[in-house]
A and B are shown apart, each in its own frame.
Chain A
Amino acid sequence: MKINKLTLYILFILPFFSSCEDVIKVNLNESKEILTIDAFINQQAEKQVIRLSLTSPYFQNEATPPVRGATVAVTNQTGGGVFQFVDKGNGNYEYQANNPIGKVGDDYLLTVTYQENIYTSRCTSNRTTVIDSIVYEYDEKENNPNSKAGYYASFYGVDAKGKQDFYWIRSYKNNVFVSNPFNINYAADATRNSTPGLLGSDGLLFIPPIRNRITDDNDPFQKGDSLRVEIWSINSDTYEFLRQVEAQMLNGGLFARIPENVRTNISAQNPANKVLGWFCVSEINRRGVIIKELKKGEKGKG
């Protein structure tokens, strides 16, 4: 992030550098399809969704092909209960939770059976924290050609004290998940320093870059939009996974890293079967606001 900003900066200071990026056509190698299990669920009494798909050629510009006919179940190994997810025929497998599937500290087991092969993953749910407030104001973004005019929001919250916690902060605009990779927003305690055992930022307010990453610069909020911020508890492995997803999706510029493959925490009973994806059960908290029209310099709060 810092580096990207700086790269832009160089373009600004040395106009005659005229470094340029353009979209080109590239032929990639074809490869086999791999089952992907996208299983981020929570402990709210609401519909839980797990999506099964296959990998597809990188430039195939549509959702990855759905996988139908699998059986998907989540077992709460602490509190008891086996939750069967129903095949909706579009790759989504759903469970209507009228009661939460468990509580903080419960151990869960994911079991997926597809074409007689079994895939499993385990996860323990952690505690989360609350979002104390959301603040927003209007910004023309005159000086920044990469951002559009609109309402820019930030959130305030305090890391839960006493041990190292990991969070995934997700924002929704009009109930649609903000999926711009520039908005992937995860934290270890109040910052992004995840050194094991380091409690440097324990119990602090989330620091500014984390606070501000809930608005998509390419599509900021407008008057009347709804904004919802959710804070999901995750574990250190999921934190590393999100870090890797972010790095692989935002890997351009002069200081690009060598591309690498994202990990998975799902294992196949028969190691010859490859599988991708992630399983995580989170405790979540939410806060929402409807964006009101503001005068310049005014701040809205919710």
Chain B
Amino acid sequence: MKNYFRLIYFFIFINQFSINHLQAQQTEKSTASGYVKDSKNGEKLIGVNVYIKGTTTGTTTNEYGFYSLTLPKGKYELVASYIGYSPLIKEIDLSAGNVKMDFEIVEQDIQLQEVVVKAEADDQNIKGIEMSVNKLDIKTIQKIPAFLGEVDVIRSIQLLPGVATVGEGATGFNVRGGAIDQNLVLLDEAPVYNSAHLFGFFSVFNPDAVKDVKLIKGGIPAQYGGRLSSLLDVRMKEGNSKRFEMNGGIGAIFSRLSIEAPIVKDKASFIVAARRSYIDVLAKPFLSSDLRGSQFYFYDLTAKVNYTINPKNTVFVSGYFGRDVFGSGFKFNWGNATSTVRWNHLFSDRLFMNLTAFYSNYDYEIGFKDDVNRSRFDWNSNIINYSVKPDFTYFLNTKNTIKFGAQSILYDFRPGNAVITSNDIKSDISLDPKYALESGFYIDNEQKIGEKLTLQYGFRYSTFQYMGKGEAYEFGQEKPNTRRPVISVKSYDQWETIQNYGNFEPRFSMNLELNATTSLKASYNRMVQYLHLVSNTAAATPVDVWTPSTNNIKPQLADQFAVGLFKNFQDNTYETSVEVYYKDMQNQLDFIDNSDLLLNRFLEGDLLQGIGRAYGAELYVKKNKGKLTGWISYTLSRTERQVEGLNNGNWFPNRYDRPHNLNTSVSYEFNEYWSASANFVLQSGTPVTFPTSRVQVQDYVIPYNVEATRNNFRVPTYHRLDFSVTKINRKKKPNQRWESNWVFSVYNAYNRRNPFTIYFRRNQDVPLNTEAVRLAIIGSIVPAVSYNFKF
């Protein structure tokens, strides 16, 4: 541990020392720094290129829109350039010392597109170090034809290369052959444990409150840890700091409203956004009397306030609260709550700090009630986290940007509180809470070597402590794939360590520019994951429980290697890339046959751990400019695992293995009023386990697979076409503020019944007859209309 600190020390200061040393010999330098914002609403922009006109010397804004550029003293012309915005050139005089300069850049409007000067640096994908990264800003997401017209972040992500899902309506997504619990989904830096409304049909992110979304699939920087496969970074809007703004809409599922406004112009602003499903309200008059008390709705509320105290200090407070509520003689509801407080502080023109503290809670509740019999069953479960996370960006010089920081997360797991009441007599079958502390620190440096080569190298060291108060169990050995019996129980006091883990996670990326439009990138990362989602169903359910690594459950590990070739054509109109990856995974969670995962104290005795591997190639072509925009991606991949006791000990494909995955998403602007978009998706069917035989016991006809092979068949190929047409009602006069649009969409346009799964059952009328059943979640064309407005 101490050695690592020394290493960091060495890392930061040796570099600093040598630089200072060099500087003393060479010319004196000054720093230009500041924020880049959207001129219309004051939103800070992430990933904007800021560079000296006519050169490649420059930097990009960080997650908070901040840039810092240290240059030899002199006069410069600085350009701020960002896709979809007109580049802005400002003169800056660094001869007298450091200068603070903010940029407010203007978004390119469709009507103006033809007259706009061409952006000079839309080639971040070539110049930047990042690979295996997909960014979607909310405007792109809004163009994608959506299921029931509801703009959705997670469903949009599923159209990107390397992303798959187990099926329509399933919660979450699978990145490069990883399970759904291997994605770190962050909403303003706080983790969201269940990103789905209504199982998986909609995601919890209100599009009106989202600024942009970034999915990192590989070459994950040292800054992030805790999950194996990806980071989905969802950033909320800060709220318009220039004027009052209202957005809203009525769709097939949700009605939405958001309000943003300055509190102190250009200094403080807020956004509040809310959505609620309203089918229940419409359905109420049609329900029969005994169903009138039914509840079925879901809603979310997102809010954020930011305050720029002075140029050196900005504070953000944001929160999310959402819930799905179902009930009719039973109750079933679940939801996430997160809140984040962040403080951006500039120690100097070159040292930027973001300090985040967050709280996140996911919980669900199930209950059944029988008043006549005075009987009931109440059950709830939570995962609660508290975390503090300082992150520093040190803009050492134009060649080196160092990031370092640390994080601590305290977990409080409540795997199940359950009370059974039978004729007024209560019995408590709750499980004990579990506690854990995950900590980590990291440092990495992005270094330009010459004109062509950029490296990013660093590491993260993470630790995990599984702590009391509670009981720890030791399990005996059994035949593989059978329940292991408890052989000893040991009690621990509050905060007493039961098990400790520590892992060194090296990270490395490089970018070699072959020429102005081509680059070759490579990366390696080791990721460690201490949390596990315990789910033995094909699609995760809201009642699945998160569990920490314990004395019996080892942390998951992944090593990923990726290489990619990136090339842009026709003045960055077309972005193309080819990436290949290989991911090796350890300690993948699996389950014995007939496992009992809920309200089971000895759950660990029902778990298995195996190894996994995933590999593939991703081809991606994206058109950025012109009337026709969009992308085509094709992924050829495998994801498999090997677990002792399952599938006779042989490798078998994961349930989310889709070897071929083709996604097309295009959008066409006819004129300033009309536009149209379409998606086409073609994917291999997912693997399923089919029986060979029937076993008959006590008149029950039970399916049986004599060879005991898992995932031995595939459901038929999945394909689907969606399209939408948008009519924009533009403002007629410049001072008119009301703008609106109509979106007409058709999902599953040629009415294909894509099977989610195929299962086997006894015929209802003839008990000895059996049949195969195809379950299609969407069994018809789904048209929808939605109306959106902006004021």
Chain A residues whose CB sits within 8 angstroms of the CB of B766 once the complex forms? 61
The smallest beta-carbon distance between B722 and chain A, in angstroms, is 15
The total number of A-B Cβ pairs within 8 Å is 263
The smallest beta-carbon distance between B172 and chain A, in angstroms, is 13
The smallest beta-carbon distance between A192 and chain B, in angstroms, is 10
Q: Of A181, A200, A252, which contacts B775 at CB under 8 A? A: A252
Contact, CB under 8 Å: A201 / B422 = yes
Q: Of B425, B601, B689, B762, which contacts A259 at CB under 8 A? A: B689
Interface 9-mer from A9-17, A99-107, A111-119: A9-17
* A272, CB-defined interface residue at 8 Å: no
* B478, CB-defined interface residue at 8 Å: no
Contact, CB under 8 Å: A208 / B368 = yes
Contact status of A258 and B702, CB under 8 A, knowing A195-B600, A205-B422: no
Chain A residues whose CB sits within 8 angstroms of the CB of B57 once the complex forms? none
Chain B residues whose CB sits within 8 angstroms of the CB of A61 once the complex forms? 766, 768-770
Contact, CB under 8 Å: A254 / B539 = yes
* A295, CB-defined interface residue at 8 Å: no
Contact, CB under 8 Å: A64 / B695 = yes
* B537, CB-defined interface residue at 8 Å: yes
Contact, CB under 8 Å: A194 / B698 = no
User: B residues 575-601 with Cβ under 8 Å of A?
Assistant: 593-594, 596, 599-601
Contact status of A198 and B693, CB under 8 A, knowing A177-B699, A256-B759: no
The smallest beta-carbon distance between B280 and chain A, in angstroms, is 7
Contact status of A207 and B375, CB under 8 A, knowing A195-B599, A248-B702, A256-B757: yes
Chain B residues whose CB sits within 8 angstroms of the CB of A21 once the complex forms? 773-776
Q: Of B199, B326, B705, which contacts A261 at CB under 8 A? A: B705
Closest-by-CB residue of A relative to B198 is A10
* B602, CB-defined interface residue at 8 Å: yes
Complex Cα distance A65/B679, Å? Answer: 52
Contact, CB under 8 Å: A258 / B655 = yes
Chain A residues whose CB sits within 8 angstroms of the CB of B703 once the complex forms? 58, 248-249, 259
Closest-by-CB residue of A relative to B780 is A18
* A2, CB-defined interface residue at 8 Å: yes
Contact status of A276 and B773, CB under 8 A, knowing A16-B782, A200-B427: no
Chain A residues whose CB sits within 8 angstroms of the CB of B390 once the complex forms? none
The smallest beta-carbon distance between A28 and chain B, in angstroms, is 6
> 1/0 per position for B346-389, CB-CB distance to A under 8 A?
00000000000000000000101010010101000000000000
Chain B residues whose CB sits within 8 angstroms of the CB of A252 once the complex forms? 757, 759, 761, 773, 775
Contact, CB under 8 Å: A55 / B779 = no
Contact status of A258 and B689, CB under 8 A, knowing A195-B429, A207-B377, A252-B775: yes
Contact, CB under 8 Å: A28 / B698 = no
Q: Of A34, A143, A177, which contacts B288 at CB under 8 A? A: A143
Q: Of A2, A190, A258, A278, which contacts B536 at CB under 8 A? A: A258
* A298, CB-defined interface residue at 8 Å: no
Q: Of A10, A198, A202, A259, which contacts B705 at CB under 8 A? A: A259
Q: Of A18, A19, A55, which contacts B706 at CB under 8 A? A: A55
* B767, CB-defined interface residue at 8 Å: yes
Q: Of B253, B370, B538, which contacts A258 at CB under 8 A? A: B538
The smallest beta-carbon distance between B354 and chain A, in angstroms, is 39
Contact, CB under 8 Å: B700 / A190 = no
Chain B residues whose CB sits within 8 angstroms of the CB of A31 once the complex forms? 692-693, 705-707
* B14, CB-defined interface residue at 8 Å: no
Complex Cα distance A202/B370, Å? Answer: 20
Q: Of A20, A28, A204, A248, which contacts B753 at CB under 8 A? A: A20
User: A residues 150-206 with Cβ under 8 Å of B?
Assistant: 177, 179-181, 184, 190-191, 193-196, 198, 200-202, 204-206
* A247, CB-defined interface residue at 8 Å: yes
Contact, CB under 8 Å: A200 / B429 = yes
The smallest beta-carbon distance between B279 and chain A, in angstroms, is 6
Chain A residues whose CB sits within 8 angstroms of the CB of B427 once the complex forms? 191, 200-202, 204
Contact, CB under 8 Å: B422 / A29 = no
Chain B residues whose CB sits within 8 angstroms of the CB of A276 once the complex forms? 695, 704
Chain A residues whose CB sits within 8 angstroms of the CB of B691 once the complex forms? 28, 58, 259
Chain A residues whose CB sits within 8 angstroms of the CB of B198 once the complex forms? 10, 14
Chain A residues whose CB sits within 8 angstroms of the CB of B655 once the complex forms? 258
Complex Cα distance A254/B541, Å? Answer: 9
Complex Cα distance A201/B422, Å? Answer: 9
Q: Of B279, B375, B782, which contacts A13 at CB under 8 A? A: B279
User: B residues 16-34 with Cβ under 8 Å of A?
Assistant: none
Chain B residues whose CB sits within 8 angstroms of the CB of A207 once the complex forms? 375, 377, 420, 422
The smallest beta-carbon distance between B577 and chain A, in angstroms, is 35
The smallest beta-carbon distance between A55 and chain B, in angstroms, is 4
Complex Cα distance A40/B690, Å? Answer: 28
Contact, CB under 8 Å: B697 / A38 = yes
* B696, CB-defined interface residue at 8 Å: yes
> 1/0 per position for A4-44, CB-CB distance to B under 8 A?
01100110011011111111111011111110101010000
Interface 9-mer from A80-88, A121-129, A223-231, A238-246: A238-246
Contact, CB under 8 Å: A277 / B539 = no
* B514, CB-defined interface residue at 8 Å: no
Chain A residues whose CB sits within 8 angstroms of the CB of B169 once the complex forms? 254
Chain A residues whose CB sits within 8 angstroms of the CB of B772 once the complex forms? 23-26, 59
* B151, CB-defined interface residue at 8 Å: no
Counting chain B CB atoms within 10 Å of each CB, which of A28, A36, A258 scores highest?
A: A258
Contact, CB under 8 Å: B696 / A63 = yes
Complex Cα distance A142/B698, Å? Answer: 32
* B148, CB-defined interface residue at 8 Å: yes
* A262, CB-defined interface residue at 8 Å: yes
Complex Cα distance A272/B160, Å? Answer: 49
Contact, CB under 8 Å: A56 / B692 = no
* A213, CB-defined interface residue at 8 Å: no
* A263, CB-defined interface residue at 8 Å: yes
* A257, CB-defined interface residue at 8 Å: yes
The smallest beta-carbon distance between B378 and chain A, in angstroms, is 12
Chain B residues whose CB sits within 8 angstroms of the CB of A273 once the complex forms? none
Residues of B within 8 A of A (CB): 148, 169-170, 198-199, 252-253, 279-280, 283, 288, 290-291, 296, 326, 328, 330, 332, 366, 368, 370, 373, 375, 377, 418, 420, 422-423, 425, 427-429, 486, 536-539, 541, 593-594, 596, 599-602, 655, 688-708, 710-712, 753, 756-762, 764-780, 782
Q: Which 10 A-B pairs have the closest CB atoms?
A: A20-B779, A179-B699, A31-B692, A31-B706, A55-B693, A260-B593, A26-B772, A200-B427, A200-B429, A252-B759
14 intermolecular pairs with C-beta atoms under 8 Å apart: A20-B753, A23-B774, A30-B692, A33-B693, A36-B695, A64-B695, A195-B429, A202-B427, A204-B427, A245-B697, A254-B169, A254-B775, A261-B705, A274-B706
Residues of A within 8 A of B (CB): 2-3, 5-6, 9-10, 13-14, 16-26, 28-34, 36, 38, 40, 51, 53, 55-64, 142-143, 177, 179-181, 184, 190-191, 193-196, 198, 200-202, 204-209, 211, 218, 240, 243-245, 247-263, 274, 276-278
Question: Apart from A16-B252, A198-B429, what 10 extra A-B contacts exist at CB < 8 Å?
Answer: A22-B753, A36-B695, A64-B695, A179-B699, A244-B594, A250-B761, A252-B757, A258-B537, A263-B594, A278-B697
